[in-house]
Chains A and B, each alone.
Chain A
């Protein structure tokens, strides 16, 4: 029987929720699956991974895997995949999975289906659906090699819920990299935030170039973000202008989100941005240009000056919250 190997994403010993989208894929692919945990001091993460119905949780807990570096992770991941005879190796298409999966694929001689939005089984064949051209076309593809590598789009594979039970764990050997001496991890400058992660939030509020400055992001947009308990995003134009860091970018080449409620504030709605948010359940657009393309995808459009409308909306949300409590 064919089996799937899910590579878990673990950062600083903590299991990242992204992993659960890859687990959701493994369930949909309709064949038994194991999970591979790579890192150091993995106790808590491994314990968490045991509750999802995997045949086994394979664990390589090694100081050489403390910080993620593609060259350091690839040999062990490929060795486990190949020794276990897995036909599918899957990661979630976070910056971790996008970096690691192609490397493991190359080492296994596997074809890669990247950033897929769906999977369908047809007999022994898995067909993958993936957005292309900034989401303006959907391709159906097959991987023709005996072993296949896949990365799944987090916004399209809802995080798997625990299934109960407790998968057995199995220690696997660390395979050192021949490149270890030529890639040195210097550090991770983490951007700390109290807000939910963009790809995991139920509500996302994104700002565009019309906000005009990083101060306005802080003073005008952030109060609304926090009143809603939302994650903050931005258009590429706002990122390019330096108002906010690139990891807040929602779009084709940034994060793809599909929250239940999405606010596009001062965003015109370039194709690039729509690709990252048009699958949101309810979309609200606030823009002073009534002809802006964003209104073509918005469920609710408000043609207004954002500097007036956003503070007003923030107050109304706070008021509504008070009434609910």
Chain B
């Protein structure tokens, strides 16, 4: 089982309100915000590790590659995934402004052609652009079966099919995909029993979030293979299908009043806001 997890380095989502817009509205800047591995991609790495290990160590013959399209500094983000347990990393160097989701998907299709994974596992969206599109576009470009918003994965013993629980409006849809396939993951994919590979003993329980890399793993990750190449080396058309022409900050909402008790709250909701 060979898994490819594409990653994105995003500005710290817990400080997203520190995003600034240049005075002329032409750029959005994240200066001073710490770069973080997109949380959904971190969950994809965790899910990929759970699929390819027996609870403790990697299953013989299985492998996990991570990749990204970004400036050179993103090698730190790839090292983080290597420290979690990925085997090797690919960095296709480009500038963030030279990308849109469509180009990322087409470039990924080339990476898939080169590395031939059985499964591409990625986050359902990156928390900077919030577009939620790369997995769907990639599946269509590859003409591979796919499932978005996965909250559970059950890999068949013969590793030929994958049953995916998709978290959709009003419930959960279950699909059986014949590999190779593309799957995007949602929050619950890191639940203790969300990923089943029929190798990890049933008695083994995972934590309820992505794993924390201990110091020895971080040191070891520094020696794992990380290949760097220009994005253009993939031979993909670098044209974009969309562009941003302006940015603005949303109107701030002003804080209201504190009420002293439930009685005052109800009274104001009825007579002032007129919503009860």
Contacts and interface: CB of A to CB of B under 8 A. Distances in A.
B2 interface: no
B148 interface: yes
Nearest to A145: B241
A33 interface: no
19 contacts: A70-B148, A103-B136, A112-B131, A132-B128, A134-B13, A137-B249, A141-B244, A184-B177, A188-B171, A246-B167, A247-B171, A252-B13, A261-B276, A271-B14, A271-B15, A272-B14, A300-B269, A302-B261, A317-B266
Contact of A70 (B130, B136, B151, B188): B136
Interface residues of A, number: 93
B253 A297 contact: yes
Top 7 A-B residue pairs of the complex, sorted by shortest distance between their CB atoms = A111-B241, A102-B136, A299-B256, A106-B140, A95-B168, A186-B174, A182-B178
B187 A302 contact: no
A126 to B, nearest CB: 11
A270 interface: yes
Given A143-B241, A320-B276, A136 B249 contact: yes
A74 B133 CA distance: 15
Interface of B: 11, 13-17, 19, 21, 28, 40, 100-102, 105, 124-125, 127-133, 136-137, 139-141, 143-149, 151, 163, 166-178, 181, 186-188, 191, 208-209, 240-250, 253, 255-259, 261-263, 265-266, 268-270, 273, 275-276
Contact of A298 (B140, B175, B181, B256): B256
A143 B242 contact: yes
A183 interface: yes
Given A96-B168, A112-B241, A320-B266, A281 B247 contact: no
Interface secondary structure of B, over-half rule: mixed
B70 to A, nearest CB: 17
A188 to B, nearest CB: 5
Interface string A84-98: 000000000011101
A282 B274 CA distance: 10
Contacts of A143: 241-242
Interface of A: 11, 67-71, 74, 94-96, 98-99, 101-103, 105-107, 110-115, 127, 130-145, 178-179, 181-191, 197, 203, 236, 239-240, 242, 246-247, 249, 252-253, 260-261, 270-272, 275, 278, 281-284, 290, 295-304, 309, 312-313, 316-317, 320
Contacts of B147: 183
A188 B172 contact: yes
Contact of B172 (A105, A189, A260): A189
A56 B110 CA distance: 40
Given A95-B168, A102-B137, A239-B187, A281 B175 contact: no
B146 A246 contact: no
B169 A94 contact: yes
Contacts of B168: 95-96, 247
Contacts of B175: 69, 183-186
B137 to A, nearest CB: 5
Given A112-B133, A134-B127, A247-B171, A140 B244 contact: yes
B17 to A, nearest CB: 5
A102 B244 contact: no
Given A139-B247, A184-B175, A271-B17, A71 B149 contact: no
Nearest to A286: B265
A144 to B, nearest CB: 6
B275 A106 contact: no
B247 A138 contact: yes
A169 B19 CA distance: 48
A186 B128 contact: no
Nearest to A186: B174
A139 B175 CA distance: 35
Given A112-B242, A131-B130, A316-B266, A137 B136 contact: no
Contacts of A139: 28, 244, 246-247
Contact of B246 (A67, A110, A140, A260): A140
Contacts of B257: 299-301
A309 B273 CA distance: 20
Contact of B143 (A130, A178, A283, A295): A178
B265 A298 contact: no
A114 B135 CA distance: 14
Contact of B275 (A69, A103, A281, A296): A281
A253 B125 contact: yes
Contacts of A298: 255-256
B128 to A, nearest CB: 6
A298 B125 CA distance: 28
A105 B249 CA distance: 29
Contacts of B127: 133-134, 252-253
Nearest to B125: A253
A260 B274 CA distance: 10
